[in-house]
Amino acid sequence: MYHRNVSKANLFGLEKTALRGVVHELGEPAYRAGQVYSWLYKRRARSFADMTNLAKGLRQKLEEAWDLRWPAVVETSVSADGTRKYLFRLDDGATIESVYIPEESRRTICISTQAGCPLKCAFCLTGIGGYKRNLKPWEILGQVATVMEDIRPGDPGGEHGEALPWNIVVMGMGEPLLNYEATVSALRVLMDSEGFGVSPRKLTLSTVGILPALEKLAEEPVRPNLAISLHAPNAVLRRALMPIEEKYRLQDVIAAAQKYPIPRGGLVTYEYVLLRGVNDTEGHARELLALLRGTRCKVNLIPLNPAAEIPFKAPTTAAVDAFARILALGNLTVSVRRPRGQDILAACGQLNLKRASAVGAAAPAI
Ligand code: SAH
């Protein structure tokens, strides 16, 4: 197995309060913490030497005591549609993936919060691949920093003339609310105007609805948008697809989601993966409509992204259309997610630890 020899702790990933402590310990004035913070997250310096407005002595002290690094990229795949998938190898050999999705009016980064996932939803490759561990804040932030720095002028969605706004979705590997502290710490730095500066309206966290954590998130001073993975119109079917239903019930998850304060009065999104013949009939659509009618929400229908290991089929186009029409006629706001990056296994639910490790093992050690 691959182990990096890590002697110094990583400064990248620390929040403002922690940086203040570091600067204080080094005997430096407090305002230096703000400068270092800005270099780490706003200007995304790759070394202490780059932090040119810091006194040389301070740069040296930082260099001696701290590391500054992002997770190592071992492979990048580019899809015919411009989507890019990044495979990272972490210090303990765990592998994770992030996806960059260029769109017309924005550019989206999809990030992971766990290596693998313990939830084992029946249609998701990540769950089938198993669970390794929670990610640390620097491993979450490092995915964003890496993608932002990799996209260059001339790339699809890259800056040409006016830069498209960044959109971040916490929809990669893992369940973010099972890694609450690290995820929320990373989100704070992402949404901070002195940090990455991503507006809370442009950041969406997707969860199956881990209730105690969801209630806690609702109390945070700055919160992202919320997407709930629903996938079934009733508890019996949801239980068959998502083992977590046993612990956190559909009705309770919806009740908690409706109470969640979305930034600027936006709407909760309910994600619904359509599986042929399993949850995609007109009867299911009517049941879903009855379940959500009267709640302030939007529904995002996701035709299954199939893979050999997934024991379900993608819905027919006619079934997707009929399903969407029933919801729309019932006055629900509905959208259908277009698959992106399927040819490189970058689409929703296709991020997989086992495949990733197999690819990673073949890549040269760096
Ligand atoms: N654990 C969180 C974050 C992962 S988000 C959650 O479940 O919400 C990943 C999204 O992609 C979820 O809505 C998930 O259900 C969906 N998804 C998983 N497997 C999929 C597949 N094979 N095809 C399409 N969408 C899938």
Q: What digits encode the pLDDT tens for the residues 87-114?
A: 999 999 999 999 999 998 999 999 999 9
Which has more pLDDT, 240 or 263? Answer: 240
Query: What confidence score (pLDDT) does residue 365 get?
Result: 30
Q: How far is the CA of 267 from the centre of ligand 1 (A)?
A: 19
Strand ranges for the chain from DSSP E: 9-10, 66-67, 72-78, 84-89, 95-102, 107-110, 114-116, 131-134, 166-170, 203-207, 225-229, 268-274, 297-303, 333-336
CA-CA distance, 250 to 217, in Å (whole number)? 18
The helix/strand/coil state of 179 is coil
Q: What is the mean pLDDT of residues 261-286?
A: 96
Q: What is the mean pLDDT of residues 299-310?
A: 93
CA-CA distance, 49 to 254, in Å (whole number)? 50
In the predicted model, is pLDDT for residue 362 greater than 60? no
Which has more pLDDT, 189 or 264? Answer: 189
The residue from 110, 124, 297, 348 that is catalytic is: 348
Q: Which of 150, 136, 121 is nearest to 181 (CA)?
A: 136
How many Cβ atoms from other residues are within 10 Å of residue 215's Cβ?
Answer: 12
CA-CA distance, 32 to 19, in Å (whole number)? 9
Query: What confidence score (pLDDT) does residue 361 get?
Result: 32
Q: How far is the CA of 246 from the centre of ligand 1 (A)?
A: 18
Which has more pLDDT, 352 or 64? Answer: 64
pLDDT band for position 264 (50/70/90)?
A: confident
Query: What confidence score (pLDDT) does residue 358 get?
Result: 40
Q: What is the mean pLDDT of residues 154-159?
A: 72
Active site (annotated) includes residue 124: no
- The DSSP bridge partners found for residue 333 are 298
**Mean residue pLDDT across the chain:** 92
206 lines ligand 1 (CB under 6 A): yes
In the predicted model, is pLDDT for residue 161 greater than 60? no
357 lines ligand 1 (CB under 6 A): no
Q: Which of 169, 41, 58 is nearest to 49 (CA)?
A: 58
pLDDT band for position 263 (50/70/90)?
A: confident
83 lines ligand 1 (CB under 6 A): no
Atom of ligand 1 nearest to the CA of 117: 1
245 lines ligand 1 (CB under 6 A): no
Q: Residue with structure tokens 């980064």?
A: 109
Atom of ligand 1 nearest to the CA of 170: 3
302 lines ligand 1 (CB under 6 A): yes
pLDDT band for position 349 (50/70/90)?
A: confident
Q: Residue with structure tokens 């369940």?
A: 175
The helix/strand/coil state of 217 is helix
Closest residue (by CA) to atom 15 of ligand 1?
229
In the predicted model, is pLDDT for residue 346 greater than 90? no
CA-CA distance, 290 to 296, in Å (whole number)? 13
CA 178 to the chain's CA centroid: 13
Active site (annotated) includes residue 282: no
Q: What is the mean pLDDT of residues 237-254?
A: 98
In the predicted model, is pLDDT for residue 243 greater than 80? yes
The residue from 97, 139, 175, 271 that is catalytic is: 97
128 class by beta-carbon count within 10 Å (0-12 exposed, 13-18 middle, 19+ buried): buried
The helix/strand/coil state of 101 is strand
Q: What is the mean pLDDT of residues 188-211?
A: 97
In the predicted model, is pLDDT for residue 150 greater than 60? yes
- Evaluate whether 209 touches 228 at the Cβ level (below 8 Å): yes
CA angle 145, 118, 13 (to 5 degrees): 25
Query: What confidence score (pLDDT) does residue 159 get?
Result: 58
Q: What is the mean pLDDT of residues 64-70?
A: 97
In the predicted model, is pLDDT for residue 234 greater than 70? yes
242 lines ligand 1 (CB under 6 A): no
Question: Which residues, other chains included, contact 233 with Cβ-Cβ below 8 Å and sequence gap of 6+?
Answer: 279, 284, 285, 287, 288, 290, 291
pLDDT band for position 265 (50/70/90)?
A: confident
pLDDT band for position 119 (50/70/90)?
A: very high
Atom of ligand 1 nearest to the CA of 173: 4
pTM score of the predicted model: 0.93
